[in-house]
Every structure is written in C-alpha cells, then in structure tokens.
Chain A
Amino acid sequence: MKILVPVKRVIDYNVKPRVKSDGSGVDLANVKMSMNPFDEISVEEAIRLKEAGKAEEIIAVSVGPQKAQETLRTALAMGADRAILVVTDEEVEPLGVAKILAKIVEEEQPKLVITGKQAIDDDSNQTGQMLAALLGWGQGTFANTVELDSDSITVKREIDGGLQTVKLNLPAVVTTDLRLNEPRYASLPNIMKAKKKPMDEKTPADYGVDISPRLTTITVTEPPVRQAGEKVEDVDALVAKLKAVGAI
C-alpha cells in the first residue's frame, strides 16, 4: 500500500508572527520556517504504518515555493521514500491544493492520504476534507488513533465532546490531531541519506488545474492588544480583587 503525505512549509510554531505595517500580510522575511506541526504528525504516522508492515511506500508532497523542498527533505529524513514538489510562488488556497493533490492521487494511486488537520499559518482546516470530497473518499478528520487494515481504516477522532470512532473504506483521507503520535527527530545519517532520495519537481500547470484564488485579502491587521493588569501579593488580595471586579 502507498501512502501520500502532503506537507506544508509554514512559520515555525515558536515564532511570534508580526503583521507588516502596510497591512499586506505577515512578515515572513528572515523568519524561521518549519514543517507544519500537524504534518510532522502525518509523516510520523505513515512511517509507523510502514514499520508495522502495513504500507510499502510513503510519498511526501508539498505545494509551495522552491524552499518547500527543505520541508520535503525533512519528511524524507524522517523516513518518507520519495517526494513531489509542486513549485509555485503564488499563495495556493486549500481548494487549489486539494485539486492538485487529487491529480497526484490519480497518478500515484495511494490507498491512504494522511495530512495535518490544519496549517498553523492560515488556520483553515480544510484541505483534507476538500480532497476527500473531490475524490469521493471517506474522511477521518482530527485523528487520535488509527488502525489500518487491508481494505478499511478505523479512526478514533477528537471531537468537542470527547472521542468518536468511525470506520472508513479504503481508499480514504485521514487528518491528524495532536495526540496521534509524537513525531521523531531525523537522525544525522538519515538527513544525509535523505539528500539522495528522489524528489520530482512539478508545477501546478503540469496538473492542468485552475488554482486562481477565490479570496482576496484586503488587509491584515494586529488584533486588539490586551494590556497586562496588576499582580497581587497573596490569595487574600486576589479574592478581594475578584470580588471588586464582580468576578465572584
């Protein structure tokens, strides 16, 4: 079984984003970039399925700028077998990404796609569900645990009230949540080996899909800033303060 793992290059989760003063977006110049944390979990899960003998090949895919190849190299160093980089300097919306991925799925015929539930830059939480819709596949979103069989996958999902388990026919799309696993770090020998693993370069035009954006960003602004209040000395002062502001 082949597993396709889409990954996205995003601002590192430890970096506090700064809004550009002209309101055109978030300043990403000279900012540390990394693999979207949810996508690291996807790569890890695919590797574990391969290690368990349930999958043969893991293909990592990224749609993004040339530099997204670094993100793909990370996926290869973790244990993916090969990579496809769809190069574009345009910002591609989830719908466009899903359309490109659907074409790649047609070509590669994976039985499972595992991707992060959301990217921490645009916080859309859409691509996996859209891909499943375009392919007419089942979707196991916000996965906490997965159990893969030859013709089905059972996904325990993190939902608002607790956990829900669904069973999907294969092929299917799974999107990962935080508790699915703890991603490994790539070892130095594996980072070296990853440099020799194959990486195909494509463009959106190769797939013949229209990825022109449907949303126009008019402005990006800072949220209202919350001012720090005061520190109190002890619990008695805290209780008095809480009463004073009518909190209790």
Chain B
Amino acid sequence: MKTLVLVEHDNANMKDATLAVVTAASQLGEVHALVIGSGCASVAEQVAKVAGVATVHVADDASLANQLAENAAPLIASLMETHDAFLAPATTTGKNIAPRVAALLDVMQISDILSVESEDTFTRPIYAGNAIATVKSSDAKKVITVRGTAFDKAATEGGSGTIEAVGGASDAGLSSFVSEEIAKSERPELTSAKIIVSGGRALGSGEKFEEVITPLADKLGAGIGASRAAVDAGYVPNDYQVGQTGKIVAPEVYIAIGISGAIQHLAGMKDSKIIVAINKDEDAPIFQVADIGLVADLFDAVPELTSKV
C-alpha cells in the first residue's frame, strides 16, 4: 500500500505532529510525505531525513502559503489517484483539510485513530474517549487522521527520501487568508511537553492564573494548559485548552491545579504517565484518575510547591 502523509509545518520547520503520522503510515505500507506550502523547501529537506519516508512530494505555491483547505484539498485528491491512503495529523490543520479531501474522493474518513489493526481496520475513541471503537473501512482509498499521542514518533534522522515537486496548485477563489495571531512562547508546545501545568476555573482570574501557574511552569520547564472553563472565562487563550475538543496531551507529568475533572477534560489528558491533582474539593472527579492527589487550597499549596521543587 502507498500512503500519503500530510506534513504539519509553518513553511520553515516541520512540526513534531508529523512524526506520529509517519509511524502510523509505516504500519500500512510505503510512506510518501506531502508538504504543501509556500517557500517550504527547508521543510521538505527535514522530512526527507525522517526515518521511513521514501518520497517527499512538495507543492510549493503562493496559493498554499496558509494551507487553506479550499486550495489544498483538490491537489491532495488528485495525488490520491496514485496513493491508497491519506493520513493527516489530528491537528486543527489536519482536521480542517482531511474531511474535505475525503468528500472529494467519496470516502468516509476515519478520525483520530489510536491504532492500525490491519490495512482496513483501526481503533478510534468515541464519546470523549469513554469508549473505543474498532472500525473497518470498505472504501477503496482510506482517509485518516491520527492522534499524535497514540503513536511513537518516527526518528528525525536516518531517512533519505527523494524530494519531488508537485505542480497543479491553484487558488480555488473561495477563500483568502487575512491574518494570524500566533502565541509566541519560549515554552514547550503542549502536545510535545514533558511536563504540563494546567489550571482551572478555581484560579478565579487571568491575573491569578498568571501569578500562580506561570512560576511553577517556569521552574519545571513545563508547558501550560487549561480547562475549558478557564478558557471560556477568558483567563487564557483558546490554544491552552486541553480536552475532548481541545488538545489531546500525554506528557510524563500532568499537574492539574484547580481543575475538577469533567469527562471532557479527562478525555484530553488521561493518557498522561503521571497525573498530579491539587484541588480544594476532596470529592472532585480529578482525584479518581490522579496518581498523586493533594487536597488543599491552591493559592497556598502551589506557591509553596513552586518554592520547593
């Protein structure tokens, strides 16, 4: 089987999310990667070095600079004439583009796979991860998004894929990019952080969130996450949200502070290796999944913890 992997990148660097997809694709067959972007030659070179990648197709065109789904999907659909499976990371980019490709190919997409059971059978979470479905696809071509935390990352060195330019990109004339507000941070990205410190509504305000959570995260070199409640309340921006419909994370250590543990939040972090919970309410559901729990007022406990780690 010939697979086509959508590379996650920002036109300069390949993102880690790509590597889990390469691993998933390699379980299906030969791995071909696709970089769509503008001025993205350096990304193609990085992808060519990823272990297991045979070919890197590069569609470098001004109309693809922001990877608008309207422009990307027809190009991917045409490449699928010579590939059997399209795999994208279950990131906002992959989730935006893949279903559009699937519909153009008249294929039912398999979202957010956790494992490859055979070339047509996969497992995927449903009901916020409260159930795992094993599904078999009868479509001739497969369109798949891959949960990054469920697959090992392919090695970024050792590969020697050949780079091939892909033509035929054009502006579909349906949409245009206006602007982007991308948070610039020295912190590790949530989806690749080893430690995550995450705050909930109990913080009470954006100022308190900053005052209590940030120093601990700084000390631990951790990424910062939040519950939906904290994001909805405006304490932190949307890209902090961990949960069913936010980011899915599985760090070595997840420290949940003032987070009660709604099932929608647990769906995003329960595969973390060690879960630590600090909460005033000893009956909070978060303690049912926490390896280490501390029942305490977070405004006392967290600064003390920060000073002692």
Q: Interface of A with B (CB < 8 Å)?
A: 11, 13, 16-17, 19, 26, 38, 93-95, 98, 117-118, 120-134, 136-142, 144, 154, 157-169, 172, 177-179, 213-223, 226, 228-232, 234-239, 241-242, 245, 247-248
Contacts and interface: CB of A to CB of B under 8 A. Distances in A.
16 contacts: A17-B128, A120-B245, A157-B92, A161-B239, A163-B181, A164-B180, A216-B136, A220-B132, A221-B132, A223-B130, A223-B132, A228-B293, A231-B294, A235-B296, A241-B292, A242-B292
A8 to B, nearest CB: 14
B91 interface: yes
B133 A217 contact: yes
Interface stretch (B28-36, B44-52, B56-64, B300-308): B300-308
Given A121-B127, A215-B110, 18 more contacts: A94-B109, A95-B103, A123-B128, A123-B244, A125-B111, A129-B96, A133-B104, A158-B92, A164-B66, A164-B179, A166-B68, A169-B175, A213-B108, A214-B107, A229-B275, A234-B294, A238-B292, A245-B292
Contacts, number: 263
A159 B177 CA distance: 14
B130 A17 contact: yes
A138 B125 CA distance: 29
Contact of B108 (A94, A136, A165): A94
Interface stretch (B19-27, B79-87, B205-213, B230-238): B230-238
B69 A123 contact: no
Contacts of B102: 95, 126, 130, 133
User: Which of A163, A221, A236, A241 gathers most chain B CB within 10 Å?
Assistant: A163
Contacts of A214: 107-108, 137-139
A17 B127 contact: yes
Contacts of A232: 292-294
Contacts of B191: 160
Contacts of B252: 247
What is the interface residue range for chain B against chain A?
A: 35 or more
Interface in B277-309: 278, 282, 287-296, 301, 304-305, 308-309
B70 to A, nearest CB: 5
A247 B251 CA distance: 11
A130 B175 contact: no
Given A129-B100, A179-B238, A235-B304, A166 B175 contact: yes
A166 B178 contact: yes
Contacts of B66: 164, 166
In the A-B complex, list the 7 residue pairs whose CB atoms are closest, starting with the nearest.
A229-B291, A129-B99, A214-B108, A133-B103, A138-B174, A130-B103, A126-B99
Nearest to B137: A215
A161 B182 contact: yes
B265 interface: no
A226 B289 CA distance: 6
B173 interface: yes
Interface in B88-126: 91-93, 95-104, 106-112, 121, 125-126
B41 interface: no
Contacts of B238: 144, 158, 162-163, 177-179
B293 A231 contact: yes
User: Which of A127, A157, A229 gathers most chain B CB within 10 Å?
Assistant: A229
Contact of A154 (B131, B178, B291): B178
